[in-house]
């Protein structure tokens, strides 16, 4: 048993990626925690009320620890009405623009969620897209809550350790979904997990959790050999029965192979890895002109929602990592765990 497993009371060094957008359900989080891994809820696109309900539901399904993940609000860049209107014309159907929150509203939402995690007495909280503010760190640590930050480079990992994180998720460029980057390169200079783990572990003293492209025992062994104490998987959990991915999304994941994905800013304004679909092909030349997050994200929201309702994969964001070929059929969380844990790491 290593330090990560001991601190988080885990019998298996596996963290289920907290995946925003209705994917990390209470059922998924609880099933993972009940297997001895760390299950997690993703609060990124939830209202504080929705988060509260999901925590209550998860607590009914497991007595084991689980985590909640928070987005660190972005500093807003200025975007003109003309820029927004020009992008609106590029959407497949003229859509009404979803309401845009302000930076102040995002911070108020963040602190409400910190309060919910504090009052629910959760033992783990993780962050992506930045450094959590010191007052939030102090508040949660006062309750003995373990804190996890996300880094895509050595520099980010060092800053997260200095900010008081207990663990760092080191996210390689193979990873599905958004890159958790927060320093100026914003994840553009993407580094693969094999190069990243040993370079990060050489520069920080807290345990590292490896994320990106891991799907079976071999990946877990490799991550441990390079210095990680745990692994975080997203894509592999999406095709579990307990995940909130729609049947169409699951079908696309089961059909996809390792070369079918790429990083794109088209859906949200931040680099994220997903299956290349028609929208990504059509708008490939606009990749460098996307609006900054959260503008681009809000702009494409109606298109993505409509595509979901109409079961049209051409306009959906089909986030997934480069290990996707390994997902050959829908499994249960229990079955996935059976293929994940090499005897040598626990
Ligand atoms: C659909 C999807 C949604 C994600 N949402 C989040 C999120 O809300 N917060 C977060 O910290 N990471 C998120 N991630 C990234 C994961 O934490 C993790 O880095 C990644 O899934 C690991 O790579 P893999 O997908 O190849 O296993 C998401 C990943 C996916 C695939």
Write out the chain's pLDDT in tens, 346 residues: 899 999 999 999 999 999 999 999 999 999 999 999 999 999 999 999 999 999 999 999 999 999 999 999 988 888 888 998 888 888 886 566 777 889 999 999 999 999 999 999 999 999 999 999 999 999 999 999 999 999 999 999 999 999 999 999 999 999 999 999 999 875 567 999 999 999 999 999 999 999 999 999 999 999 999 999 999 999 999 999 999 999 999 999 999 999 999 999 999 999 999 999 999 999 999 999 999 999 999 999 989 999 999 999 999 999 999 999 999 899 999 999 999 987 666 5
Quick check: CB of 175 below 6 Å from ligand 1? yes
* Residue 81 Cα to ligand 1 middle (Å): 32
Identify whether the C-beta of residue 212 lies closer than 8 Å to the C-beta of residue 324. Answer: no
CA dist list (Å): 60 to 43, 54, 55, 64, 119: 18, 10, 9, 11, 16
Quick check: CB of 269 below 6 Å from ligand 1? no
Quick check: CB of 213 below 6 Å from ligand 1? yes
* Residue 190 Cα to ligand 1 middle (Å): 15
Closest atom, ligand 1, to C-alpha of 129: 11
Quick check: CB of 211 below 6 Å from ligand 1? yes
DSSP 19: -
- Written as six digits, the tokens of 229 are 């104490």
* Residue 270 Cα to ligand 1 middle (Å): 13
The CATH H-level superfamily of 3-89+100-244+328-345 is Aldolase class I (3.20.20.70)
């Amino acid at each position: 048993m290593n330090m990560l497993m001991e601190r988080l009371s885990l019998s298996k060094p596996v963290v289920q990626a907290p995946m925003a957008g209705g994917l990390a359900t209470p059922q998924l989080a609880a099933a993972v925690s009940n297997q001895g891994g760390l299950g997690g809820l993703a609060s990124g696109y939830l209202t504080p009320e929705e988060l509260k309900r999901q925590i209550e539901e998860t607590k009914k399904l497991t007595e084991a620890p689980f985590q909640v993940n928070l987005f660190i609000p972005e500093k807003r860049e200025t975007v003109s009405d003309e820029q927004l209107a020009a992008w609106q014309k590029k959407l497949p159907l003229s859509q009404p623009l979803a309401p845009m929150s302000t930076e102040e509203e995002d911070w108020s939402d963040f602190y409400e969620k910190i309060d919910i995690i504090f009052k629910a007495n959760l033992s783990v909280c993780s962050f992506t897209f930045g450094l959590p503010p010191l007052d939030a760190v102090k508040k949660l640590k006062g309750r003995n809550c373990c804190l996890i930050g996300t880094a895509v480079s050595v520099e980010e990992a060092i800053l997260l350790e200095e900010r008081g994180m207990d663990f760092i998720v080191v996210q390689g460029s193979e990873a599905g979904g958004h890159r958790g980057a927060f320093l100026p390169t914003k994840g553009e200079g993407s580094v693969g997990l094999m190069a990243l783990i040993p370079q990060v572990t050489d520069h920080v003293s807290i345990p590292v959790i490896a994320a990106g492209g891991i799907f079976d025992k071999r990946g877990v062994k490799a991550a441990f050999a390079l210095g990680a104490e745990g692994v975080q998987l997203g894509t592999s959990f999406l095709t579990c029965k307990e995940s909130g991915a729609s049947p169409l999304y699951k079908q696309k994941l089961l059909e996809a192979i390792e070369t079918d994905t790429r990083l794109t800013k088209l859906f949200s304004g931040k680099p994220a890895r997903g299956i290349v679909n028609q929208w990504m092909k059509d708008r490939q030349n606009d990749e460098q002109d996307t609006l900054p997050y959260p503008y681009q994200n809000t702009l494409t929201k109606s298109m993505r929602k409509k595509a979901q309702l109409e079961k049209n994969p051409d306009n959906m964001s089909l986030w997934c990592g480069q290990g996707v070929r390994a997902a050959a059929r829908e499994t249960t969380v229990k079955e996935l765990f059976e293929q994940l844990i090499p005897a040598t790491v626990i």
